Amino acid sequence: MDYFDEYYPLIDKIADDLFTHPELGYKEFHTSQTVENEIKRICPKANIKHFSGTGLRVDFNNGSSKTIAIIAELDSLYQPSHFAANSETGAAQACGHFTQVTAALSIINNLVKTDAISNFGTNLAFIFTPAEEYVDLSFRKKAKAAGKISYFGGKQEAIKLGIFDDIDYCISTHAIGEDFAKRTIEVDCNLAGFNFEYFTFKGKASHAGFAPEAGINAENMASLFTTALAYLRQSVKNPNQIRYNPVMTSQNEMSINVIPDHLQMGTDLRYFDSNYAIELQNKFINAATGCAQALGGQVKIEQQVGYLPLIQSKSMNQRVKEVFKRTPEIEDIIDNRGYVMAAGDIGDISFLMPTIQIGYGGFNGTIHGKDFKLVDKDFVLRIFPRFVYNSILDISTHLDEIKTYRKTRDQYLTTLSKMEN
Ligand SMILES: [Zn+2]
Ligand SMILES: [Zn+2]
């Protein structure tokens, strides 16, 4: 029996508590307080730093020149139909983030109880980040306008605040939304980046029967633009790694005998190559401007930066695979999926430094759906945290095998600024 086994009954209670108290991004007050209380109980001298209201960071140093960050996401999703959703806020743990938190706490508990920090080849920083899910945007828009936050993603905000300035490698974990017959983990699965873009076409209203010559039809511009975007797909490079989804985001509320004078469309743009995304965004702008001009109208364009793509560190994942080989309790590994078009703000961290996200099963239902739940507690709350602990230890003692890069906070902020207006 080790400290992961010993901690299981307590972390099981904490997992239940977090699951039944889901909170939306930047409002994870209960979750944050629970984490802080538990860290202080495990390690009364821990020096806990706060950021972005609910974010927490606690460091364990051994005098190394490098630091590995372990990330856990505090927030939950907006999914009011989930069986354990908060009836007032619609928040629900339909993405499993609470089990990232319990894994991080189990790792901290083992680290402190075994007094093992000197065994690691790096310092360790545990960073509990707010607001991963890109939801509740009206609240975040207001917070941004009021100067309380600069970014909708909690890790983006943390980067801006300098929380990751002294970090060299990053390890994160995430639930996988599939049912597995065997206990399964996943490595090396990249995530797409995304941006949101809005196009508001403006024309001139007139009586469609009596004076059509006086009108400029905004709906026709939107229709022409939809066609232009469809034609643009032919020239898209690596089309399997690009997605866009043009939809109408406003309705024509005028009478049907009036030529509509405004209509808003939007699309997300999902990608793996940030420079190419900027190129495509410019093509969209040209097409929208051209379509508006073609019919005598105008278009207002708003670009909202989403998250950058997660490009995982293959050399770090190689070490995780080695640890998997000596962990018989975990029966299966997926290492060949390559990428999925889902996204997360862990991508923004991978822009800066070598980063991995280890996936884990143990759930059933639909991820982000109404029935997503933890089913294999023994795996997720006891076996998997021990595996992640061993992976961190292994990576920290094989740094010579890890391919390293480091971009600065300024380079990061400049890249984001090119994607928004
Ligand atoms: Zn999610
Ligand atoms: Zn998630």
Interval 344-401: pLDDT, tens: 999 999 999 999 999 999 999 999 999 999 999 999 999 999 999 999 999 999 999 9
> Among 193, 197, 77, which residue's Cα sits nearest to residue 135?
77
**Least-confidence region, from 192-206, 221-235, 407-421:** 407-421
Measured in angstroms, how far is the CA atom of residue 193 from the centroid of ligand 1?
A: 14
> Among 346, 359, 355, which residue's Cα sits nearest to residue 313?
355
Measured in angstroms, how far is the CA atom of residue 12 from the centroid of ligand 1?
A: 22
**Continuous segment of H or E residues that includes residue 318:** helix 314-325
Of 305, 338, 368, the last residue of a domain is 305
In the numeric block, the tokens 């906070």 are attached to 409
Q: Which ligand places an atom closest to the C-alpha of 174?
A: 2
Q: Are residues 97 and 140 in the same domain?
A: yes
Alpha-carbon span 102 to 17, nearest angstrom: 11
Residue 28: CB atoms within 10 A of its CB come to 32
Measured in angstroms, how far is the CA atom of residue 302 from the centroid of ligand 1?
A: 25
Q: Are residues 273 and 408 in the same domain?
A: no
Measured in angstroms, how far is the CA atom of residue 95 from the centroid of ligand 2?
A: 5
Measured in angstroms, how far is the CA atom of residue 133 from the centroid of ligand 1?
A: 6
Do 174 and 98 touch, CB atoms closer than 8 A? no
Amino acid at position 414, single letter: T
Residue 22, pLDDT above cutoff 90: yes
Measured in angstroms, how far is the CA atom of residue 172 from the centroid of ligand 1?
A: 14
Measured in angstroms, how far is the CA atom of residue 405 from the centroid of ligand 1?
A: 28
Sequence-ordered list of residues with C-beta below 8 angstroms from that of 245, at least 6 positions apart, any chain: 267, 268
Q: Are residues 198 and 335 in the same domain?
A: no
CA-based end-to-end distance of the chain: 56
Whichever domain contains 91, its CATH number is: 3.40.630.10
Q: Which ligand places an atom closest to the C-alpha of 175?
A: 2
Residue 82, pLDDT above cutoff 90: yes
**What is residue 299's predicted lDDT score, i.e. its pLDDT?**
98
Q: Which ligand places an atom closest to the C-alpha of 176?
A: 2
Q: Are residues 163 and 198 in the same domain?
A: no
Amino acid at position 82, single letter: H
Calculate Rg over the CA atoms of the chain. 24
Amino acid at position 236, single letter: V
Number of residues written out for the chain? 421
Give the distance between the most distant pair of CA atoms in the chain. 85
Do 82 and 56 touch, CB atoms closer than 8 A? no
Q: Which ligand places an atom closest to the C-alpha of 97?
A: 2
Amino acid at position 413, single letter: L
Q: What is the DSSP letter of 206?
A: -
**Continuous segment of H or E residues that includes residue 222:** helix 218-232
> Where are the alpha helices (H) located in 76-186, listed in sequence order?
98-113, 137-145, 154-160
**What is residue 252's predicted lDDT score, i.e. its pLDDT?**
85
Bridge partners for 91 per DSSP? 78
Mean pLDDT value across the chain: 97
Measured in angstroms, how far is the CA atom of residue 363 from the centroid of ligand 2?
A: 13
Q: Are residues 213 and 72 in the same domain?
A: no
Q: Are residues 131 and 179 in the same domain?
A: yes
Query: Domain tally for the chain?
Result: 2
Mean pLDDT, rounded, for 183-209: 97
Confidence of residue 254 (pLDDT cuts 50, 70, 90): confident
Measured in angstroms, how far is the CA atom of residue 368 from the centroid of ligand 2?
A: 8
Mean pLDDT, rounded, for 336-343: 96
Q: Are residues 65 and 76 in the same domain?
A: yes
The 3-state DSSP class for residue 327 equals: coil
Sequence-ordered list of residues with C-beta below 8 angstroms from that of 90, at least 6 positions apart, any chain: 24, 78, 79, 80
Q: Are residues 170 and 37 in the same domain?
A: yes
> Among 411, 140, 156, 95, which residue's Cα sits nearest to residue 306?
156
Measured in angstroms, how far is the CA atom of residue 155 from the centroid of ligand 1?
A: 14
Of 290, 305, 320, the last residue of a domain is 305
Measured in angstroms, how far is the CA atom of residue 177 from the centroid of ligand 2?
A: 10
Measured in angstroms, how far is the CA atom of residue 174 from the centroid of ligand 2?
A: 6
Residue 276, pLDDT above cutoff 90: yes
Q: Are residues 9 and 120 in the same domain?
A: yes
Bridge partners for 357 per DSSP? 172
Whichever domain contains 257, its CATH number is: 3.30.70.360
Measured in angstroms, how far is the CA atom of residue 292 from the centroid of ligand 2?
A: 38
- Strand 193-202 and strand 298-305: the pairing is antiparallel
Residue 322, pLDDT above cutoff 90: yes
Measured in angstroms, how far is the CA atom of residue 103 from the centroid of ligand 2?
A: 15
Measured in angstroms, how far is the CA atom of residue 188 from the centroid of ligand 2?
A: 16
Measured in angstroms, how far is the CA atom of residue 145 from the centroid of ligand 2?
A: 26
Measured in angstroms, how far is the CA atom of residue 90 from the centroid of ligand 1?
A: 14
**Continuous segment of H or E residues that includes residue 197:** strand 193-202
Of 262, 285, 305, the last residue of a domain is 305
Q: Are residues 295 and 332 in the same domain?
A: no
CA–centroid distance for 134 within its chain: 7
Structure token digits, residue 82:
């989930």
Residue 241, pLDDT above cutoff 90: yes
Measured N-to-C along each axis, helices 3-19 and 29-42 cross at an angle, to the nearest 10 degrees, of 160
Measured in angstroms, how far is the CA atom of residue 27 from the centroid of ligand 2?
A: 16
Phi/psi of residue 226, each to 5°? -60, -40
Q: Which ligand places an atom closest to the C-alpha of 79?
A: 1
Measured in angstroms, how far is the CA atom of residue 94 from the centroid of ligand 2?
A: 8
Q: What angle do CA 344, 345, 350 make, to 5 degrees?
A: 105
Measured in angstroms, how far is the CA atom of residue 261 from the centroid of ligand 1?
A: 37
Measured in angstroms, how far is the CA atom of residue 132 from the centroid of ligand 1?
A: 7
**Parent domain of 208:** 193-305
Alpha-carbon span 390 to 173, nearest angstrom: 14
Measured in angstroms, how far is the CA atom of residue 224 from the centroid of ligand 1?
A: 34
Measured in angstroms, how far is the CA atom of residue 211 from the centroid of ligand 2?
A: 53
Q: Percent of the chain scored above 90 by pLDDT?
A: 98
Model confidence over 68-77: pLDDT tens digits?
Answer: 999 999 999 9
Measured in angstroms, how far is the CA atom of residue 61 from the centroid of ligand 2?
A: 29
Residue 274: CB atoms within 10 A of its CB come to 18
Q: Are residues 275 and 402 in the same domain?
A: no
Q: Which ligand places an atom closest to the C-alpha of 346?
A: 2
CA–centroid distance for 109 within its chain: 26
Sequence-ordered list of residues with C-beta below 8 angstroms from that of 287, at least 6 positions apart, any chain: 225, 228, 229, 232
Q: Are residues 20 and 77 in the same domain?
A: yes
Q: Which ligand places an atom closest to the C-alpha of 94?
A: 1
Q: What is the DSSP letter of 204?
A: B
Confidence of residue 421 (pLDDT cuts 50, 70, 90): confident
In the numeric block, the tokens 């508006």 are attached to 292
Measured in angstroms, how far is the CA atom of residue 249 from the centroid of ligand 2?
A: 25
